[in-house]
Structure 1
Amino acid sequence: MKKTDVVVLGAGIVGVSTAIHLARRGKAVVLMDRRGPGEETSYGNAGLIQREGVFPYGFPHDFGALFRYALNNTIDAHYHLKALPGLVPFLARYWWHSGFRQHQRIARLYAPLIEHSITEHDDLIHASGAEDLIRKDGWMKVFRTEAARDAAYKDAENLSAGFGVQHQKLTAAEIRAAEPSIRIDLAGGLRWTDPWSIRDPQSLLKAYLTYFQALGGTLAAGDAATVEHILEGPGWRLATPDGPLETKEVVVALGPWADTVTRKLGYRLPLAVKRGYHMHYGAEGNATLNNWVLDAEMGYFLAPMLRGIRLTTGAEFAHRDAPKTPVQLTRAEKVARDFFPLAERRDAEPWMGARPCTPDMMPIIGKAPRHQGLWFAFGHAHHGMTLGPVTGRALAEVMTGERSVIDLAPYRPDRFLA
């Protein structure tokens, strides 16, 4: 019987980061996944470390936005009608937590995670030698109308005053100078200067994984659904292609598949998914995209990555495992081609991933309430790539009895349990 100290389930950014920090503290760690590292949610994102993302993405409360989304024809949101009955309890709680007072409170609780996002990534970037994958000049939101621009400026000023996040207001002329290949006239823009951007998220994760293995960590194939709690012995057992593996502790870092383990062990956590899509493109002629750019009023994102210009969509509310319906990508591509001279598609088919979301928009991090040696680290929604390293450090510190870099109490799993 093979044995280890800790098995981390899930080789996405949260799992890899947690495994690194445990290995640094002398733990024998096995990182287990059914697929290769970074091939699920951590693969498909806009490639941002969002230091400005203090307010997690809320559910709209104004009637105009709700009516627009109800029509189900936008780029930034889409839903499967058949999935809505099962999603109503989650969406109702999500809507309530997105109210002004609740959202303000959540932002104050969420801020410590976000505040450490750059420094904790920086630590792992240098340790893994991945500096060439990082840009440190922020990202841009651009606006088609003065009304949207002015509202965004007001929000940015409040965020800067309340949380110390830096920004620059951009005139139409400054945007043209920064992005001469953009085809349309714009009313202005906003650059968040603190965030960093990633030229290839999967390559960054693989660099982190190589560093984990250099620390003595092991990557193994396995199915999280085989986990068993052992009353006598080290604590837990899992099946692997090489035979059973026993471990003292298990970290569930499975993102949208966390319920593979949590439900089996009796936890009913309100985890839903927002699915998203992306596609890579070439650029026509000598056109270049120099910045990570959000077309704010249309709801899609363009990112100049190593594989081409990545176009990402907003949120699709659907069952996690339902077949792909990349209608948002089709809508976005049509608008984006008018915005920027995109050329050929470079992927055989659209990529789809699922973001794991909680109704209060905060991740679930900490000790499982009813099992010794079981730890949770999932539910990071749109900020998994941003928050993976700080989550990994904080959880590893708690697991090894150290003082945590942040207080994990606001993210404790039992906040959702009766």
Structure 2
Amino acid sequence: MSKSAIVLGAGIVGVSVALHLQQRGVRVALVDRRAPGEETSHGNAGLIEASSVVPYGFPRDWRTLLRLVRNDSTVLRYDLRSMPAYAHWLATFWRESSPARLAGAARDMLPLIERSVAEHEAFVARTDLRALVRPIGWLEAYRSAEAFERERAAAQHVAADHHLRIETFDAAGLRAAEPSLAAGYAGAIHWIDPASVADPGALVKGYAALFEREGGAIVKGDARTLRAQGGGWSVQTDDGPLDAQLAVVAMGPWSDTVTAPLGYRVPLMAKRGYHMHYASAARAPLTRPVVDIEGGYVVAPMRRGLRLTTGVELATRERPPNYAQLDDAERNARPVFGLGQRLDDTPWMGMRPCTPDMRPLLGPAPRHTGLWFAFGHNHHGLTLGPVSGRLLAEQIMGETPFTDPAPYSPARFG
């Protein structure tokens, strides 16, 4: 084996990087404080979003902003004490969300989005995880007839431009397609190409098990101890120091705890989110994930039950959970989806690692040899984990990347 590497972070991105490096003959150790797939990768809506060709930008409509600033929306909540920490990040996010810049971000992200399902499929083909990844797409549902008609026309243009498949349902058609739903939606757009994952945490654990079966090591350790040493890198683990030629930081929203002590000021902030599982009291099982656009939440059928995931909460890592957003989303969703009893003792809370320009960092650290970054995937970590692992591994090994990695270069932040 020509190289050795430490990958810090055992979420979907870190596990994917480890697998792709391992395929290329690198001796890899995957280091995390917890078992694989137990943080952000566990708690999402389980969507591999091959149709999400436009990133989630800062709202520009003043009516929407006025609704959000009241801080009572299921779409967005914010913790007032955290706002000073977010001020500069939000100002940059606002600038990057102008129509021209957002279109640029969409162009840059498209090569990753387009290959997202195929790269997952390449991993799944080497495992027994086929039942977890369902080629059923997802439903984008609208309560307002006016919004539905407007967005249906826009979706048809997006689908035509990007060779995506869609079908649309009016209210009656939606209830025929999903008999579990009660009245409440004016219509929905079915994005057919994305996949849905029945248990995101189990999928990541399955990929990690593949990594171990093929000779990889998963080690518990403290990523914050990473240090340059002897022309390579070293980190402290429960089994003692671990040394390698290369180190990859793939710790999602905690990546800055490693990069900041090394002198990097990456504008990485967290968008928090919550989920809860419910038994179903509906007349039929829900077959596809449903994104309630006005409600700002997702209800997805999972192995454990119906998973309700919330919109965005802006709050720093140390702030305590605030379940008001989840409670409001539950009240809105319960009559339409037939949500029964809660199945989890406590709501899950996680953090989406977000950059203000809506692009991840996938490339070499600007000032340290052998150090690589793979984080900042915003709302699309599960979607982009395997394709990101491929692109990073191609760069590390000096291969011709399948797409230009320049838009994701960590050097753009200095």
Alignment partner of 1:108: what SS?
A: helix
* Partner Cα distance (1:340, 1:123) in 2: 34
* Partner Cα distance (1:404, 1:128) in 2: 25
Partner of 1:169: 168
Alignment partner of 2:210: what SS?
A: helix
Partner of 1:158: 157
Partner of 1:194: 193
Alignment partner of 2:274: what SS?
A: strand
Computed over aligned residues only, the root mean square deviation of the Cα atoms, in angstroms, reads 1.3
Q: How does 1:241-252 map to 2 (within 5 A)?
A: 241-252=238-249
From 320, 326, 344, the counterpart of 1:329: 326
Deviations 1:205-239 (A, max 9, x none): 11101111111100000001111112xx2411111
* Partner Cα distance (1:357, 1:71) in 2: 23
- Read off the aligned partner of 1:56 and give its amino acid letter: P
* Partner Cα distance (1:303, 1:267) in 2: 38
Deviations 1:367-407 (A, max 9, x none): 00100000000000100000000000111111011111221
Q: Is 1:147 matched up with 2:162?
A: no
Partner of 1:214: 213
Alignment partner of 2:264: what SS?
A: coil
Partner of 2:52: 53
Partner of 1:404: 401
Q: How does 1:7-406 map to 2 (within 5 A)?
A: 7-230=6-229, 233-284=230-281, 286-406=283-403
Any gaps of 5 or more consecutive residues in structure 1? Answer: none
Alignment partner of 2:86: what SS?
A: helix
Residues 53, 114 of structure 1: 8 Å contact kept: yes
Residues 303, 310 of structure 1: 8 Å contact kept: yes
362-371 or 158-167: bigger deviation: 158-167
Deviations 1:244-263 (A, max 9, x none): 11110000000000011110
5-14 or 236-245: bigger deviation: 236-245
Deviation, 1:287, is 3.8
Residues 362, 411 of structure 1: 8 Å contact kept: yes
Residues 142, 190 of structure 1: 8 Å contact kept: yes
383-392 or 297-306: bigger deviation: 297-306
Deviations 1:164-202 (A, max 9, x none): 222111122221112212122432110001100000001
Query: Once superposed, which parts of structure 1, at least 4 consecutive aligned residues long, lie more than 3 Å away?
Result: none
* Partner Cα distance (2:234, 2:133) in 1: 39
Alignment partner of 2:318: what SS?
A: coil
- Read off the aligned partner of 1:10 and give its amino acid letter: G
* Partner Cα distance (1:72, 1:81) in 2: 9
Query: Cα distance 1:285–1:411, how it changes in 2: closer, same or farther (>3 A)?
Result: closer
Query: Cα distance 1:285–1:116, how it changes in 2: closer, same or farther (>3 A)?
Result: closer
Alignment partner of 1:281: what SS?
A: strand
Deviation, 1:54, is 1.1
Deviation, 1:416, is 1.3
Query: Cα distance 1:391–1:68, how it changes in 2: closer, same or farther (>3 A)?
Result: same
Any gaps of 5 or more consecutive residues in structure 2? Answer: none
* Partner Cα distance (2:285, 2:274) in 1: 22
**TM-score normalised by L of structure 1:** 0.97
Deviation, 1:145, is 1.6
Number of equivalent positions = 413
144-153 or 347-356: bigger deviation: 144-153
Alignment partner of 1:222: what SS?
A: strand
- Read off the aligned partner of 2:79 and give its amino acid letter: H
* Partner Cα distance (2:113, 2:211) in 1: 23
Alignment partner of 2:401: what SS?
A: coil
* Partner Cα distance (1:411, 1:185) in 2: 41
Alignment partner of 1:356: what SS?
A: strand
- Read off the aligned partner of 2:54 and give its amino acid letter: F
Deviation, 1:273, is 0.7
- Read off the aligned partner of 2:70 and give its amino acid letter: L
- Read off the aligned partner of 1:239 and give its amino acid letter: Q
Deviations 1:252-296 (A, max 9, x none): 000000011110100001001100000000012644212111122
Residues 139, 191 of structure 1: 8 Å contact kept: yes
Deviations 1:291-314 (A, max 9, x none): 111122111110000000000000
* Partner Cα distance (1:31, 1:17) in 2: 10
* Partner Cα distance (1:379, 1:254) in 2: 9
